[in-house]
Every structure is written in C-alpha cells, then in structure tokens.
C-alpha cells in the first residue's frame, strides 16, 4: 500500500478486522444454528438451552425427512430440472448469442432491443399460466424448464464474450469450409468454457432455488420439486398434515424444529457443498454479468 503506517492506522485495521469478523459470524451463524438444530432431541429443545451444538444428538429428524416419499421425489425432481434446465439454457443461449455476435446478422441491434424489453416488461401471472396451460405443460416437468431456458441477461453476456473472440478464428474456419453451426460448436463454445461454466452455475442455482413455478404448474406430488415440500414443512408449519391421524413417530425424540432444520439442511447441502470449489466461477460471473467500465 501507498500510505504511511500510523498508530491510528493500525488501530483502524484492528477494528476493521474485528468488525468484519463479526459480520462473517453473523452471516454464518444461522446456518450453523440450523445444522445444530437438526440434530437435537425434542427434550433438549424443551429445556431451552440450545444455541449451537446439541448435547445429545439424534438422527430422528433426518430419518423422518429422508423417509418421506415426498422429499425423496422432490429431491429427484429438483435434480432432474436442474440438470435438464441447465443443459437447455447452455444450448439455447449459445444458439442465440452466436448470431447476435456476428456483425453480418441483419438487424441485430433491434433484435437485442427486442430481447432487452423482456427484462423490464411482463404480462403477469395469469397470461403466463394460461400459456403454460395452452401448451399442455401443466403438471409436466417441462413447464419448469422451458420458460426459464433463456434470459436476456445470459444472452447479452455470452454475445459480448463471443464478440471478443478474434475474427481470425472464424475466418480460418470459413476457409476450411465450415458453416456457422460448425464454427459455433467446434470453435466458439470450446473457447468460451469459463463463461459457459459461469452461466451453467448461475442457472443451476436458479433452478435449484425456484419454487413459485412448482407451486403454479405442478399438480401432483410425484412431480413436485423439493423447494415446495420445504416450504410446506418450514414456512407453512405443516410438519404433519394428517389431521386425526395415527403416526408412527417416536414423539419423545421428535421435535418439529429439528424436522424443519433437517429439511433445510438437506436442501441447502448440494449448494453449500459445491460452493467453495466453484466459488471463483460465481465471483467471475458477477464480474462478467455485472456492470463494468
């Protein structure tokens, strides 16, 4: 650094360090708490002494959550839509971005505007629902994938990246008789791996977290996604929806908080698990997608 070190400077550094440490702890505490909570027993919670780590651990909550056929289906469906959705997005975005990045594409400026408008204006839930209905996609897993295939944002980001690829690559390929499709798939896509990886990650996160479309378009529990079951359990307080029903739970070990926490943990797990390894792509994504000089 360029400035002189002074006592007040050191003091500031110290305070800054402390402050940021606290910020970090505040950011992470709820997760740790929920993780701990998912292993607690009903009794310990009732004593009201639980802050972070349970004294006695119990796997009842996980047993219950993982044995729930809905949660298992939901997990599977979430994975399906995330993989399917991401592949669809990558393909479609590439197909859209390549023509728009070519100067010879007629009216590309207007087309870019045509695409950008959709970022700001939308018709609302009712027409969107009717559309999905008319397409016959109600209660079809495709209804979760097709509407999210392209976003104006991804298209523009990738288009800009393609534009930075030197024209000499394209020219050389043309001399070899390659068409646009060959150029895109053989040259541009391999050259754009980092940005495609970033888009893929963003799409994965988007799909994994999407819940409202599941609420709207999916009617059967077999095709429903994890986030909706999560919402039923965690937000709507319906750990158990059988009204006068019999249940086979060991109630002494059971606590609805632990069940909620366990559901949260298993939902978050895939994201948190991959995040540290792919962190640089996420941050790169912001830099690319964000606003820069």
Partner 1 sequence: MRLQGRELHEEHVHPENISGSQTFRKRSVGLWTVIVIFSFFLLEGCAKRTFPKLSTEELTDRLIEVSDTQEQRLEISWLGVPRQIRGEEGSWIERNLEKQFNIDLKPIFLEWLSYKRRKPLMMLGGEIPDVYWVESSTDLRRDAHHGFALELPYEVILKHAPNYVEALNKYAPEAWLLSYYKGGNYGLPTFGALENGVLPQPGVWRIDWLRNVGIEKIPETLDEMHDALWKFRHEDPDGNGRMDTYGMSPKAGLSQKVRIDHSFGEIYGAFGVLSAGWVEQDGHLIWGGILPETKKVLAILKRWYAEGLIYPEYLLVGDDPNERFYLFTRGKVGYMPAYAHFDSYDHKFSGSLAGLMSRLHPEANYYPPGNFPAGPKGKRGGPIIGGAENVVVFGAHLALEPEKVVRILRMFNKMASDVNLHLQAKIGKRDVHWSWSIENGINGLPPFDDPFYGSRELVGINPTISHAISFFCPFGARKEWLEHYNSNKETDFDQTYRRAELSLKSPIPWPDMVPLAEKFYADLRVFQETVFAEIIQGNRELEEFDEFVKEWFARGGLELTEDANRMLKVKDDVFRQVGAVQGESRADLN
Partner 2 sequence: MTVEGTIRKHRGLLWMFLPCLLYFVIFHYIPMFGIILAFKDYVIGEGFMGSRWVGWENFETLFGSSDFLRALRNTFVISTLRLGLGFFAPIILALLLNELRWSGFRRGIQIVTYIPYLLSWVILGGIFLLVFSIDGPVNRLMLLLFDTKVRFLTDDLWFISLLVFTHIWQSAGYGAVIYLAALAGISPTLYEAATIDGANRWQLVRFVTLPSLAPTIVVLLILNLGLILDAGFDQIFNMYNPIVYDVSDIIDTYVLRHLISLDIGLSTAAGVFKSVVGLVMVVASNYLARYLSGDEYGIW
Q: Which one of partner 2, partner 1, none interacts with residue 185, CB within 5 to 8 A by kind?
A: none
Q: Which is nearer to partner 2, 33 or 75 (CB)?
A: 33
Contacting residue, 70, 139, 231, 240, with partner 2 by CB under 8 A = 231
Token readout for 18 is 């402390």
Are 229 and 74 contacting, i.e. CB atoms less than 8 angstroms apart? yes
Q: Which one of partner 1, partner 2, none interacts with residue 30, CB within 5 to 8 A by kind?
A: partner 2
End-to-end CA distance of the chain: 24
For residue 21, CA distances in Å to 27, 38, 264 come to 10, 25, 25
Shortest spacing between CB 242 and partner 1, in angstroms = 7
| 119-138 binders of partner 2 (CB under 8 A) | 120-128, 130-131, 135
Give the count of residues interacting with partner 2 (CB under 8 A): 92
Distance of alpha carbon 282 from alpha carbon 37, whole angstroms: 29
| 164-223 binders of partner 2 (CB under 8 A) | 179-181, 184, 205, 208-212
- If one counts every other C-beta atom within 10 angstroms of the C-beta of residue 102, the result is 16
Q: Which is nearer to partner 1, 232 or 284 (CB)?
A: 232
Q: Decide if residue 51 touches partner 2 (CB under 8 A).
A: yes
| 139-168 binders of partner 2 (CB under 8 A) | 146-147, 149-150, 155
Binding site for partner 1 (CB under 8 A): 42, 45-48, 69-70, 103-104, 106-110, 112, 126-127, 129-131, 133-134, 138, 156-157, 159-160, 163, 215-216, 219-221, 232, 236-252, 256, 289, 291-293
Are 282 and 201 contacting, i.e. CB atoms less than 8 angstroms apart? yes
- If one counts every other C-beta atom within 10 angstroms of the C-beta of residue 211, the result is 16
Q: Which one of partner 1, partner 2, none interacts with residue 133, CB within 5 to 8 A by kind?
A: partner 1
Q: Which one of partner 2, partner 1, none interacts with residue 69, CB within 5 to 8 A by kind?
A: partner 1
Q: Which is nearer to partner 2, 59 or 125 (CB)?
A: 125
Where does residue 177 fall: left (phi above 0), alpha (psi -120 to 50 degrees), or beta otherwise?
Answer: left
Q: Which is nearer to partner 1, 86 or 101 (CB)?
A: 101
* Pairs from 226-230 (Cβ < 8 Å, separation ≥ 24): 226/71, 226/74, 226/75, 226/77, 226/78, 226/267, 227/74, 227/78, 227/267, 228/74, 229/68, 229/70, 229/71, 229/74, 229/263, 230/74, 230/263, 230/264, 230/267
């Amino acid at each position: 650094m360029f400035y002189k070190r002074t006592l007040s400077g050191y003091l500031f550094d110290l305070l800054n360090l402390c402050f940021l440490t606290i910020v970090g702890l505040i950011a992470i505490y709820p997760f740790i708490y929920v993780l701990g909570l998912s292993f607690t027993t009903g009794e310990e919670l009732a004593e009201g002494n639980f802050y972070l780590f349970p004294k006695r651990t119990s796997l009842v909550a996980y047993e219950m959550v993982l044995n729930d056929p809905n949660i298992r289906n939901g997990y599977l469906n979430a994975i399906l839509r995330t993989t399917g959705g991401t592949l669809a997005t990558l393909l479609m975005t590439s197909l859209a971005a390549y023509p728009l990045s070519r100067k010879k594409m007629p009216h590309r400026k207007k087309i870019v505007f045509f695409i950008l408008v959709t970022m700001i204006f939308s018709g609302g839930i009712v027409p969107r629902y009717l559309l999905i209905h008319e397409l016959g996609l109600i209660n079809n897993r495709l209804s979760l994938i097709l509407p999210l295939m392209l976003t104006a944002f991804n298209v523009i980001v990738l288009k800009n990246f393609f534009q930075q690829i030197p024209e000499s690559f394209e020219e050389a390929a043309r001399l070899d008789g390659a068409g646009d499709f060959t150029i895109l798939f053989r040259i541009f896509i391999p050259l754009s791996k980092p940005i495609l990886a970033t888009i893929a990650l963003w799409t994965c996160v988007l799909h994994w977290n999407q819940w409202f479309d599941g609420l709207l378009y999916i009617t059967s529990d077999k095709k429903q996604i994890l986030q909706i079951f999560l919402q039923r359990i965690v937000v709507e307080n319906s750990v158990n929806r059988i009204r006068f029903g019999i249940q086979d739970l060991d109630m002494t070990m059971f606590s609805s908080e632990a069940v909620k926490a366990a559901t949260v943990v298993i939902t978050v797990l895939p994201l948190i698990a991959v995040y540290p390894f792919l962190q640089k792509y996420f941050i790169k994504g912001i830099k690319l997608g964000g606003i820069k000089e």
